[in-house]
Amino acid sequence: MDLLLTHGYHLEEDPAEKHPYPPLGLLYLSSHLKQRGTEVEIFDTTFNHPADFGRLVADETPPIVGISGNLMTRRNVLAMTRLAKDQGAIVVLGGPEPYSYHEEYLARGADVVVSGEGELTLEELVPHLLDQGPQNLGHIPGIAFRAPDGEFVETPARRPLDDLDGQPFPDRGAIDMERYLDAWRRERGRSAVSLITARGCAYQCTWCSHSVFGFTHRRRSPQNVADEVELIVETYHPDMLWYADDVFTVHHRWNLEYAAELKRRGLRVPFEAISREDRLDEEIIQTLADMGCFRLWVGAESGSQRILDAMKRRTNAARMGEVIGMLQSHGIEAGTFIMLGYEGETPADIAATVDYLKAAAPDTFLTTVAYPIKGTEYYRQVADRVVSSTSWEEGSDRDLTVAGRRSRLFYRFAIRWLVNEVALSREHGHGLRSQTRRLITFFNAWLGRLGMLLARHQVEPQRAHHLTVFERR
């Protein structure tokens, strides 16, 4: 073995998730490197215990361990780094988070941190590490490391992949796909497989991280994606697909050509995906329905146009209801995302979001309170006020908040009001059970509104863990 690829996500540590997807990024790295002669193994942590990784590296002693990290897995990635280093491995980190905090990760044991897409960088980096170790790395683009004198070095960015059709499909055979399919069958009643048709998103939403694919948008051909779907269907027989693109309908001509290609091959697999208000119209929604789309998630974020403009969303709050209605009229469930707490938001903006949800009536919606992710424009806007409720090693960017913003208690009450106020607008019926449920919902909405009123003057304090995260050790 030349390289062991792994990640830090454990399903048992995530009570909110019951039906995970495989780590597509690692599967793409594996297939790319294997095609070029590198001996790669994947240790998929999803269904394993944290201690299993320690036993594996002790038994196998891989020369290089590549760990993918995101904002949920920082603590595990740090622990895995220590375990791998204890066994003499060279540790390379990549994925959505590590490069944003490369000094912190390098100071805590990592040898190299990869920026952006990893295929071409690892293709060059792995042979070098096997031959020379983590020395003389300055000529390799797209990495950060520590020089012998302790200085942190960042090499120039690497150009992203141009020809996505030239890439092999994800190496799904390297992991136990049946466990993922079983988890979906158990929790959702149908199995699912994920795939991507493109890389990157050219939109400039201030809170969204573009740390891996940047602000590019590179598409695979309709024929290439259909080839992968055909292989997935023949191999795994899933009940549905999840298109994990940032915006599945960004290129309408591509969608029409892809739909025609699937129809030509007799492929119609139910699926769900994500899109935007400005990239949906009657024709494309009809096309999605014909392809088998049963649910589409449309990022609303706020019912206030003022907040959407501050986020640089480039979407129209007033048109969201129309888009949701079109989806539902074509038999597609409409899901949406709501973000509270963005910089400058007022109670009036939250009320506008409640009004939007009541009028638009999406089938489902998910809420979050904005947090600044390192590397985003939103983070840069509030960087001098970013604080954390915990230490950097133990936390994640999800623990970050903004000093001076309304308190977490305020937003807990705001979400309670929003959820119950929207539910109240949907409840009908005159039976005793219906009336009792309506009364409980009304009380919860009232309690949320009252809590907001009482907490309206509370703001996030300047905490002990102000985000000066790098400490030389």
- The answer, yes or no, to whether residue 417 has pLDDT greater than 60, is yes
**First CA to last CA distance, the chain:** 32
- The answer, yes or no, to whether residue 275 has pLDDT greater than 70, is yes
Average pLDDT over residues 11-21: 83
Task: Tell me 435's DSSP state.
Answer: H
Smallest CA-to-CA distance from 168 within 217, 201, 241, 119 is with: 119
Which range has highest mean pLDDT (251-265, 422-436, 455-469)? 251-265
pLDDT of residue 430: 64
Average pLDDT over residues 83-110: 96
- The answer, yes or no, to whether residue 425 has pLDDT greater than 60, is yes
C-alpha 473/C-alpha 464 separation (Å) is: 20
pLDDT of residue 463: 59
Top pLDDT among 54 and 464 is at 54
- The answer, yes or no, to whether residue 472 has pLDDT greater than 60, is no
Q: Any idea where the domains of the chain sit in the sequence?
A: 3-154, 190-370
Sign of CA dihedral 371, 335, 254, 196: positive
- The answer, yes or no, to whether residue 471 has pLDDT greater than 50, is no
- The answer, yes or no, to whether residue 18 has pLDDT greater than 80, is no
Read off the tokens for 245: 């693109």
pLDDT of residue 310: 97
Average pLDDT over residues 82-89: 97
Average pLDDT over residues 212-235: 94
At 234-260, the pLDDT tens digits run 999 999 999 999 999 999 999 999 999
Average pLDDT over residues 409-437: 87
| CATH number of this structure's domain 3-154, picked from the four choices 3.40.50.2300, 2.40.30.10, 3.40.630.30, 1.10.150.120 | 3.40.50.2300
Tell me whether strands 192-195 and 240-243 are parallel, antiparallel or unpaired.
parallel
Name the pLDDT band for 464 (thresholds 50, 70, 90): very low
Smallest CA-to-CA distance from 299 within 377, 218, 208, 406 is with: 208
- The answer, yes or no, to whether residue 14 has pLDDT greater than 70, is yes
Read off the tokens for 204: 């400039």
- The answer, yes or no, to whether residue 49 has pLDDT greater than 60, is yes
Q: How many CA atoms lie within 13 A of 291 on its CB side?
A: 28
| CATH number of this structure's domain 190-370, picked from the four choices 3.60.15.10, 3.10.20.90, 3.20.20.70, 3.30.450.80 | 3.20.20.70
Helix axes 432-454, 408-426, angle to 10 degrees: 150
C-alpha 36/C-alpha 372 separation (Å) is: 38
The DSSP-derived string for 12-35 is GG-TT-SS----HHHHHHHHHHHH
Distance (Å) of CA 212 to CA 94, 96, 143, 196:
9, 6, 13, 14
* CB neighbour class for 406 (10 Å; exposed up to 12, middle 13-18, buried from 19): buried
Distance (Å) of CA 240 to CA 51, 109, 121:
33, 41, 33
Residue found under tokens 């062991």: 4
Top pLDDT among 433 and 471 is at 433
At 305-335, the pLDDT tens digits run 999 999 999 999 999 999 999 999 999 999 9
Name the pLDDT band for 466 (thresholds 50, 70, 90): very low
- The answer, yes or no, to whether residue 469 has pLDDT greater than 70, is no
- Average pLDDT, rounded, for the chain: 93
**Number of helices (H), then strands (E), in the chain:** 15, 18
Average pLDDT over residues 149-166: 94
Q: What is the pTM of this model?
A: 0.92
3-state SS of 36-87 is CCCCEEEECCCCCCHHHHHHHHHHHCCCEEEEECCCCCHHHHHHHHHHHHHC
Read off the tokens for 394: 């133990």
- The answer, yes or no, to whether residue 19 has pLDDT greater than 80, is no
C-alpha 185/C-alpha 289 separation (Å) is: 23
Name the pLDDT band for 460 (thresholds 50, 70, 90): confident
- The answer, yes or no, to whether residue 71 has pLDDT greater than 90, is no
